[in-house]
Amino acid sequence: MPSYYLEVTDANDVKEAMQYSNCSGTRLSIKNSGHDYLTRSSGKGTLSLWTRKLQNLTYSPAFVPSGCQTSYKAITAGAGVNFDEAYEFAHQNNVTILGGYSPTVGLSGGWVMNGGHSVLSPVYGLGVDRVVQYKIVTPDGQLRIANECQNEDLFWALRGGGGGTFGVVLESSHRVEPTISFVAAIIKFTSNSTNVLPFMDIIVNNTVKWSQEGWGGHITGDTLVNVSPLLSVAEAEESLADVIAYAKAQGGSATVENFSSWYSFYEKYVTSSSVSVGVTHFAGSRLVPQSVFETAEGRADLMDFFKLLLANGQTPYIPVVGPVLYNYTEGSTSASPAWRQAIWELGSGSTWAWNSTLETREEKIATLQNMTATLERITPGSGAYSNEANAFTEDWREAWWGDNYDTLLSIKNKYDPTGMLSCWKCIGWEESQANSTCFVAFP
């Protein structure tokens, strides 16, 4: 845990903290919303810079990034603005901003700087595809604007290279869409020991077709919650006919309905969800490219993985968030290139109660390692979303950034030559730094 916290209210607070770090040798960490499976928003003995008080929100129908000529409909958000606040503000201005499910994740933090997926990403792209400008204080104490027209290398690095690494972001500006209407499907049934795998088989065999129809969402062993801005209700019911029929045969239900805005869907189905407390959760995931679904061997491998999950007492968890239909400009972001071939982010993980024994925790980590290795064998050459990846990934540089890592490291060294900012398996991190983190307790 950090030894000190500073609530950032403006750029001067950050500059003073950086001067203090240089004089005292105290390391800095950056906390946006604090949602982080990899503990990057904290650090043992650090001075933590908490950006929650940066609450500015503005909408511009013709936002022009500084020094540029192209204009966008855009929302500019202070680093302390969370998704629930951004969604409500966008709704008030009759526009749609992309973001994640959790209401309390920050729009300008690690979500966007590590890629940023959304259930609308299959059609509208990742968070890094939509951010058009950052304001950031770099470790030399300089307030900089980064966009496609100035500090272009820094802008590229912030579009996928990770938070807590290149400086303290004070605000970000994001392209927005007009109010989006879409169809949503909520399909669920009560799972038992025999009906999950047949459900997964239907999912696997329809995934490529569904990806071309704009579906995005989340799927578990007994639930499908997907949305598509490209289909009518009738078309959606036809598209999902097999999975609807299966759920109903299990005594379940299927609702297919149209929503006039993202905010109305979000209020009805997302903010009403409950969250767990008092548990420790280690995530693990892998980006699954379309090529895996196109062969009988690949589909069989996925089914074998689901069998392994069930044998370990877990349930499948599938964010359907790959930007399949988005018109991406090659090389425009530094997020893992594997995103551009991915349909799924296939998840696993390990959870234990706060009072679990060390033996139990080590067993859980070993299981997570085994499942991660299995996913890597199924998806050779792919990668992982570092926000939801296995913290103990050994080839993390390749898995999380691929060929972009070396360029990101050179940009890191340019703007932070002394390594003032460092976090677990972030750009520039070395294994010799492991002793300064809580992960050293695990093999």
Query: Does residue 209 sit in the same domain as residue 247?
Result: yes
Query: Does residue 226 sit in the same domain as residue 337?
Result: no
- Boundary (domain end) residue, out of 401, 416, 434: 401
B/e letters for 231-251, b = 16+ CB within 10 Å, e = fewer, are beeeebeebbeebbebbeebe
Q: What pLDDT score was predicted for residue 258?
A: 98
- The number of distinct structural domains making up the chain is 2
Kindly state whether residue 137 falls inside one of the protein's structural domains. no
B/e letters for 102-128, b = 16+ CB within 10 Å, e = fewer, are bbebbbbbbbbbbbbbbbbbbbbbbbb
Position 407: which residue type?
A: T
The count of other CB atoms within 10 Å of the CB of residue 68 is: 15
Residue found under tokens 């959790």: 102
Kindly state whether residue 99 falls inside one of the protein's structural domains. no
Query: Does residue 395 sit in the same domain as residue 283?
Result: yes
Residue found under tokens 């234990």: 352
Q: What pLDDT score was predicted for residue 279?
A: 45
CATH number, domain of 231, equals: 3.30.70
Query: Does residue 220 sit in the same domain as residue 305?
Result: no
Tokens of 162: 């990770």
CA-CA distance, 367 to 350, in Å (whole number)? 8
Q: What is the mean pLDDT of residues 325-346?
A: 98
Kindly state whether residue 17 falls inside one of the protein's structural domains. no
Kindly state whether residue 118 falls inside one of the protein's structural domains. no
Q: What pLDDT score was predicted for residue 188?
A: 98
Query: Does residue 292 sit in the same domain as residue 396?
Result: yes
Query: Does residue 224 sit in the same domain as residue 298?
Result: no
Q: What pLDDT score was predicted for residue 357?
A: 86
Query: Does residue 295 sit in the same domain as residue 397?
Result: yes
CA-CA distance, 229 to 208, in Å (whole number)? 17
Query: Does residue 202 sit in the same domain as residue 294?
Result: no
Kindly state whether residue 139 falls inside one of the protein's structural domains. no
The overall average pLDDT reported for the chain is 94
Q: What is the pLDDT of residues 264-320, one digit of tens each?
A: 999 999 886 654 444 455 678 999 999 999 999 999 999 999 999 999 888 899 999
Query: Does residue 335 sit in the same domain as residue 371?
Result: yes
Kindly state whether residue 43 falls inside one of the protein's structural domains. no
Q: What pLDDT score was predicted for residue 276?
A: 47
Q: What is the pLDDT of residues 398-443, one digit of tens each?
A: 999 999 999 999 999 999 999 999 999 999 999 876 555 555 545 5
Residue 315: domain span? 279-401
Q: What pLDDT score was predicted for residue 277?
A: 45
Query: Does residue 247 sit in the same domain as residue 286?
Result: no
Kindly state whether residue 379 falls inside one of the protein's structural domains. yes
Kindly state whether residue 53 falls inside one of the protein's structural domains. no
Query: Does residue 205 sit in the same domain as residue 245?
Result: yes
Query: Does residue 301 sit in the same domain as residue 394?
Result: yes
Q: What pLDDT score was predicted for residue 34?
A: 87
Q: What is the mean pLDDT of residues 1-16?
A: 96
Decide: helix, strand or coil at residue 141. Answer: coil
